[in-house]
Structure 1
Amino acid sequence: MPTSRRPSSAPARDGVRHGLARVLSKRGVCSRSQAEQWIRAGRVALDGRVVLDPERPVAQGQGGITVDGQPIGESTRVYVMFNKPRGLVVSTADERGRATVYDALVAADLPWLGPVGRLDKASEGLLLLSNDTVWAAGITDPATHREKTYHVQIDRLPDAALLARLREGVFDEGERLVARQAELLRAGDKNAWLEIVLDEGRNRHIRRLLAAHGIGVLRLVRVSIGGLRLGDLPKGQWRHLATEEIEALRARPQATSPRL
């Protein structure tokens, strides 16, 4: 049962009110879905009275919230980079019993952290986790067009025409899938590595884009988000972000040129 690391006595800010589950999530205590489960189970009280409605309006800065009798204030903000290995699900729990990134972090003595965006089970590389939901939303918001760079091993040798088609994009299941950049990194006898940059992220974006051109993905590794690079962090390991790294990702990126 998570407890507050830094109780807050801040007054309600400008009377702004949100559902109780959202308030718990924004304070960095747990995910919104987890908060809803706690509330429906009768574990959350407001001023000593159990609340069963996750949408019960409360002020973001309101005190008197407890979980299992323990007061909940603003949690210390934590920002983590994790080098996700292939085969882990980015989820707090998996209905099929598969291993998750949280299994890999169980011994890390970290508070609750939510993933900042996703990597599918077969993908690897840079994954951010934080309990600062506002910071996380700023990174994942499609309107920011924040660039994410991937190294992708494909099952064929590409030519310049193929790379151009990846940059032109395709429509798949009603969505436009396009690479902002697509360049050859290196090639072998039968396969090659590409560097692909996205400034938006749709579900299985790169895999679907390549599949539309008959190309299979052998490996997919995210190596950077904005200016933050995975670097030499070993696979399966994590580290805290430095203050300057946190602030660089918080800053709004420069607008990109509109596509015609």
Structure 2
Amino acid sequence: MTENDEGVRLQKALANAGVASRRVAEQMIAEGRVRVNGTVVDALGSRIRPETDMVDVDGIAVQFDQSMRYVMLNKPTGVVSSMRDERGRPDLRRYTDEFEERLYNVGRLDAETSGLLLLTNDGDLSHVLAHPSFGVTKVYIAKVEGRVSPQSIASLTRGIELEDGPIAADKARLLDASYDSSLVELTLHSGRNRIVRRMMAAVGHPVLELVRRQFGPLHLGTLPAGRSRELTKIERGALLTLARRDAETAPPADQENV
């Protein structure tokens, strides 16, 4: 019987996935830090099937499929969240052509919104994270018209009525304010179309500029506009852990447009 028939030794699979050297992986297993399909496995002779078994180390998911690629893009304004725009506007192909894999965007940002957009060829992960009901947290910084008052910030978190129903921010805070404009940070898990722009307009402060700084466990950091980078091992693990949490119960995916 071949190794493929029996599966792969757990420590070897972890080493091949870049988690740690085989010796360190053996120590992790012996310390009870590794789970397979939700069950702690501490026997060094244990074997798994990487193509089907779900493994996590210290609660962080491990990706064994090395063909999967995860890229963070700081989408600039003026670019539509599409791989081919029917109207000929600048689209995402300029940022994906350098990769051998066919990458697709997870969710959308409207053309005039900049910031963090995830590109991947992992269809299962994309399916889960893109659906509004999954409730992935997103953090936005909005430059808006006028001086935002504490009462307006309270209204955003208390809830406001829009044409498609009530909505409330998970968090809202005023970062800066001058006579004619303000900076507001909004944390939301809603995937409704252009929701940040509509919420701010509803409290009397139309959006002038909008950037998404965070998507789930991913942070834009200092990545310049128009640049991309592959996720780190830690970021991939955090993202996969989030995606696996409700993957089996997530309904069919829709796309947002903020």
Q: Does 1:181 align with 2:153?
A: no
Give the match for residue 122 of structure 2: 132
Q: Amino acid of the residue matched to residue 77 of structure 1? A: M
Paired residues for 1:113-124 under 5 Å: 113-124=103-114
Matched residues in 1 for 2:87 and 2:204: separation? 30
Q: 2:96·2:103 contact (CA, 8 Å) conserved in 1?
A: no
Paired residues for 1:55-70 under 5 Å: none
Q: Does 1:100 align with 2:74?
A: no
Residues 1:172 and 1:240: Cα distance change in structure 2 (over 3 Å):
same
* Unaligned segments of structure 2, at least 5 residues: 1-51, 53-64, 247-258
Question: What's the secondary structure of 2:208's corresponding residue?
Answer: strand
CA root-mean-square deviation: 2.5
Give the match for residue 159 of structure 1: 149
TM value normalised by structure 2: 0.65
Matched residues in 1 for 2:161 and 2:167: separation? 6
Q: Amino acid of the residue matched to residue 212 of structure 1? A: A
Aligned length: 184
Q: Does 1:234 align with 2:217?
A: no
* CA displacement at 1:250 relative to structure 2: 2.0
Matched residues in 2 for 1:248 and 1:199: separation? 17
Give the match for residue 185 of structure 2: 195
TM value normalised by structure 1: 0.65
Matched residues in 1 for 2:179 and 2:165: separation? 33
Q: Amino acid of the residue matched to residue 98 of structure 1? A: R
Matched residues in 1 for 2:226 and 2:100: separation? 15
Give the match for residue 48 of structure 2: none
Q: Does 1:209 align with 2:199?
A: yes
Question: What's the secondary structure of 1:244's corresponding residue?
Answer: helix
Q: Amino acid of the residue matched to residue 166 of structure 2? A: R
Q: Does 1:79 align with 2:79?
A: no
Give the match for residue 28 of structure 1: none
Partner deviation per Cα, 1:34-75 (whole Å, 9 max, x = no partner)? xxxxxxxxxxxxxxxxxxxxxxxxxxx9xxxxxxxxxxxx99
Residues 1:173 and 1:156: Cα distance change in structure 2 (over 3 Å):
same
* CA displacement at 1:113 relative to structure 2: 0.9
Question: What's the secondary structure of 1:121's corresponding residue?
Answer: coil
Partner deviation per Cα, 1:210-242 (whole Å, 9 max, x = no partner)? 122232111100001122110011110100111
Q: 2:95·2:228 contact (CA, 8 Å) conserved in 1?
A: no
Partner deviation per Cα, 1:67-113 (whole Å, 9 max, x = no partner)? xxxxxxx992110000000010001111211111223443x234211
Percent pairwise identity: 37
* Greater RCO (Cα-Cα under 8 Å, separation 6 or more): 2
* CA displacement at 1:189 relative to structure 2: 3.0
Matched residues in 2 for 1:172 and 1:222: separation? 21
Matched residues in 1 for 2:150 and 2:132: separation? 29
Q: Amino acid of the residue matched to residue 191 of structure 2? A: G
* Unaligned segments of structure 1, at least 5 residues: 1-60, 62-73, 256-260
